Amino acid sequence: MSSYRIKSGDTLSHLAQRHNTSVSALMKANPQIKNADLIYAGKSLNIPGSRDSFESGSAGSAGGATGGGSSGGAQGVQGPNSSGPGTRGPKGSPFDIASQHLNKNASSLKLEKNGVGADMEDWVPNNVNCANFVSAVLEQSGQISDAQHDNSVMGLMAKLDRDPNFKRIDLRDAKPGDVVSMKTNGGQHVVMFAGWKDGKPTFIGSNNVNSDGSQRVTISSMNYPIMAVHQYQG
């Protein structure tokens, strides 16, 4: 999901066509809009993609949507500089919290009345929940507040940049639970570092692995360019 600043003369139907989406999807991604024929220049608009910019694996994008995930954790799988346990917040480990939901579909997870599901916003389409899931996990661990929850990758990345409890690090120094924002062919994707396996980094998050393009929580390797790795320092 990306963000767009509305310009004078824009209409939802025109923007939907330009961004290969639909007016209905735009309305769902922007619940503040009550009338599809009434939008205001200068306001920000969430633009959902056909999926969460997490596409089938191909050359240069290893371990994409074909990664079925693992039923086990990756705690003990460490890289050269990734020693010790994962990062923790006041309420627990984000990696452990995320791992409790492995193989759950985003559509069902959002309906849960407590835990991560309760902190996910249920209006977010089921194919664009990566930032929604990561934000909810960080909230559950106590690393961010409810006000810092963001359903867009760029929005969450900007909020972590402004948070003094987080700092950007190199992937080589990542620990399980660190937030990893990636640039993909169609936009952005955000997951959490899950450890190293056979010399390759693995990640846990809400990924487009279902046959209908919807998301499920999985662990897999990915080879997208990394925009930022945020590690909690609080």
**Residue 69: pLDDT above 50?**
no
pLDDT of residue 52: 64
pLDDT at site 115: 94
Structural domains of the chain, ranges and CATH numbers in brackets: 2-47 (3.10.350.10), 94-232 (3.90.1720.10)
Q: Residues with Cβ < 8 Å from 164, sequence gap 6 or more? A: none
For 142-169, what is each residue's pLDDT tens digit?
999 999 999 999 999 999 999 999 999 9
206-233 burial code (b ≥16 CB/10 A, e <16): bbbbbeebbbbbbbbbbbbeebbbbbbe
Calpha distance 215→128 (Å, rounded): 7
Question: If you ran DSSP here, which 8-state letter would residue 31 be given?
Answer: T
Higher pLDDT, residue 48 or 80: 48
Q: What is the mean pLDDT of residues 122-146?
A: 96
Instruction: Find the mean pLDDT for residues 17-42.
Output: 81
Strand 226-232 relative to strand 166-168, pairing = antiparallel
The pLDDT of residue 77 is 43
* Residue, of 34 and 108, whose pLDDT is higher: 108
Per 3-state DSSP, the chain is made up of helix, strand and coil in percentages (nearest 5) of 25, 20, 55
Integer CA distances (angstroms), 191 to 9, 93, 148, in order: 36, 15, 16
Quick one: pLDDT band at residue 21, thresholds 50, 70, 90? Answer: confident
